[in-house]
Chain A
Amino acid sequence: MFRRKYIPIFITVGLFALIFALGSFRYTGFFSTQVLFNLLIDNAFLLIVAIGMTFVIVSGGIDLSVGSMVALTTMLSASLLQEGLSPALVIPFVLLAGFLFGAGMGAVIHYFNIQPFIVTLAGMFLARGLCYVISINTITINDKFYQSIALTKIYLGDSFISISVILALATLLLAVYLAHYTRFGRNTYAVGGNEQSALLMGLPVARTKVLIYGFSGFCSAMGGVVFTFYMLSGYGLHAVGLELDAIAAVVIGGALLTGGVGYVVGTFFGVMIQGVIQTIITFEGTLSSWWTKIVIGMLLFLFIVLQRVLGARAGSSQTR
């Protein structure tokens, strides 16, 4: 069944395939499962964060605090582990903290009727600042459990993935289920479509909004945990600007910033596109890594314009 609403997602998937094919033709050794798997390994934390962001954007909001929340999670984890706490306590604790932080922002957004932009901007400064309260220096992690997770390679044939990739893909599947097969997910789409109508239809708008930001906070804490596995350190300057990468991934994945439209699967490919561009630039060798940002910037423009064009056409076909 072909539907107009799936066009952006097809374009995203097609674009990923195209860029990957281009890279494969141009560079020897590019076309391999390991390059593909590396995309997942290097972007696992971004994927998890972007999944939470997808729900926020579909509901018509924005969450700028996710990058800082990742940094705070690395700091909290590292300092608690340094104190000698067990990872079995540390990880649930930081995940809960992330959820509560997000839900708190959601509650402020809903009950005081303040723009999500400004509330999560405050949350962003708050979380980043808290990092430096814990320490202004890098705290390295010597915990055995963290180190073994970081070093574990799971072989699939000749190529391998990390435990972080499993976590990210599990989050992806959970999010797809949440978005399409639960009331929470459908209410998220309804709120994004028309919040006033959702209220009049008797949907629990307040609970949904608080949960959306709570889920985003949870995802950024989860992303933080994965990032800690990746870096094996806590530092206040980790993941600076990550929120913008996450937003870019969601938009390239076909979500509308006005809310109501977007897919978790689209976000997955949005992250993969960013990753593959980075990989190409690494393979090229001579280009500065800032070229990634330039290409992402152009892609963002392209997608925003595309959505506007598709949206306008859908609008005109409706008024007979």
Chain B
Amino acid sequence: MGENRPILQMSGIHKRFPGVIALNNVDFRMYPGEVHALMGENGAGKSTLIKVLTGVYAIDGGTVDLDGAPITVGSPLEAQEHGISTVYQEVNLCPNLTVAENIFIGREPRRFGKIQWKELNRRAERLLAERLNLNIDVTRTLDSYSVAIQQLVAIARALNVSAKVLILDEPTSSLDQGEVQELFAVMRKLKEQGLGILFVTHFLDQVYEITDRITVLRNGELVGEFMTKELPRMDLVLHMIGKDLELLADLPASDFGQAGEASGETFLKVTGLGRQGSIEPFDFMIQRGEVVGFAGLLGSGRTEAARLLFGADRADQGQWQAAGGGKVDSPRQAIRRGIAFCSENRKTEGIIEDLTIRENIILAMQAHRGWFKSIPRKRQEAIADEYIETLNINPPNPEQLIKNLSGGNQQKVLLARWLLMEPNLLILDEPTRGIDVGAKAEIQKLVLALAKKGMAVLFISSEMEEVLRVSDRIVVLRDRQIVRQMTGEDIHHHNVMQAIAGEN
């Protein structure tokens, strides 16, 4: 790849949303004929940068140069006209139209207003064969092909608009290994043809396989631009997470004293549990009184694994051994077995904003009893008061609407809802996201206290300190696989980082 002139140069980009600075003085450049990875954790500003580039959001400050000339992009359509095309994870084409039509619709070859179908099909076939090495019947409808092919068709459509810059936004998330290789082959071919490809993914292995250059963002700021070959994985992960190893080492490993003595009594054990396109088959067991932490980068399969254990997604393979029965097929069954799941999407999957604290707390219990056996008001109030006190929910008024509470207190209400069910296994997915430090510490303490009482807790978090602090055992996931489990002495930030980065 030539170190000549960048095809795309973004300098000093600023983007502000009410109350948040999403991008702060970010530079980004891309050369023709290279695959460039944009990396960063949740909230780093990756998607904002892409949306600014493609005209979904207006820029608050900074300049964009394409091919040496400054451009302003007002809408996705304008971006396409400039030669910046995006292919999203969920394919934005029309499933009911043929492959050829999807590539050309809006720009069909016409004579006197009449669409020339033969010409159109011929051009589509040639485009797919010559530029993407794809030989398929272009007169069949798009929905008769797999997602992988659909994505290639989307790329073909982008190319047909004479793209200079192609943005692939998590294109591999729903592809299997073979399909990913097909996509990579296409990407290599396009690279040779001088296209600049911006590749966004959560899979580190894929980044090292296909990209030439990496730009890392964190908290809306540029961390740096690196040549992929010269950046060890460990450093990449550190750049993304933003902690120095020394800093982690200083961390008081057990602020509260390690929770616990695992009872030795297995509550749940699965072998070879997996779901295609979501998580590779894994073995997992948890004992009563044990806190197991799931560590890994965003998209590594943490949530997916937990959802399988809860039955929210159906596993397509694997064996179950749970206390009091075999398989868990649905959340209903899981709840009956005493498994509770606190989702990471507090706002959309957890709290009901317009109900009071009391109503939110008793929701799961009421559902469990059936809607016809309503819980007496007196009893409801007693329950609400009890949990407001034990969890220290603020304000201590059970009739307060939950939308008026802070994030931390909302989280506690959610916890109360599940604790009320007296679960045997509590799955917490990112329970401390977006809440302040004090509330975090309280929730961590609570987790340890629950484990002491004999509850099994599965703790998922992006913050490594937190996982290190509360867990008796840590399971590390990378690229949708469980790659390592560690207990006791083995639990050390360095080991965890290594496992996350995939270095041995």
Contacts and interface: CB of A to CB of B under 8 A. Distances in A.
Interface of A: 1, 3-5, 177, 180-183, 186-187, 189-190, 192-194, 196-198, 200-203, 260-261, 314, 317-318, 320
B105 A190 contact: yes
Contact of B146 (A196, A203, A320): A320
B185 interface: no
Contact of A203 (B80, B105, B110, B139): B105
Nearest to A200: B92
**Among B80, B115, B157: residue with most chain A CB under 10 A:** B115
B144 A183 contact: no
Interface residues of B, number: 26
A201 B114 contact: no
A202 B80 CA distance: 9
The 4 A-B pairs with the shortest beta carbon distances in the complex, nearest first, are: A193-B94, A260-B96, A193-B96, A197-B92
A193 B114 contact: no
Given A187-B105, A189-B94, A202-B106, 9 more contacts: A4-B144, A183-B110, A192-B96, A193-B94, A197-B94, A198-B94, A201-B106, A260-B95, A318-B146
B95 A183 contact: no
Interface string B111-132: 0011101000000000000000
B92 A201 contact: yes
B157 A201 contact: yes
8 contacts: A182-B114, A183-B106, A186-B101, A193-B97, A194-B95, A200-B92, A202-B106, A317-B144
Interface of B: 76-77, 80, 92-97, 101, 105-106, 108, 110, 113-115, 117, 139-141, 143-146, 157
Contacts of A203: 105-106
A186 B107 CA distance: 11
Nearest to B81: A202
Nearest to A58: B96
Interface of A is mostly: helix
Contacts of B80: 202
Nearest to B93: A197
Given A196-B92, A201-B106, A203-B106, A181 B114 contact: yes
Nearest to B104: A186
Contacts of A317: 144
Contacts of B96: 189, 192-193, 260-261
A56 B160 CA distance: 30
A182 B115 contact: yes
Given A183-B108, A183-B115, A203-B106, A190 B94 contact: yes
Contacts of B143: 314, 318
Contacts of B117: 181
A177 B95 CA distance: 22
Contact of A202 (B77, B101, B144): B77
A5 B93 CA distance: 18
Contacts of B94: 189-190, 193-194, 197-198, 201, 260
A202 to B, nearest CB: 5
Contacts of A198: 94
Contacts of B114: 177, 181-182
A202 B158 CA distance: 12
A320 B76 CA distance: 33
B496 to A, nearest CB: 36
B157 A186 contact: no
A200 B94 CA distance: 11
A262 to B, nearest CB: 10
**Among B76, B96, B115, B143: residue with most chain A CB under 10 A:** B96
B115 A181 contact: yes
A182 B92 contact: no
Contacts of A193: 94-97
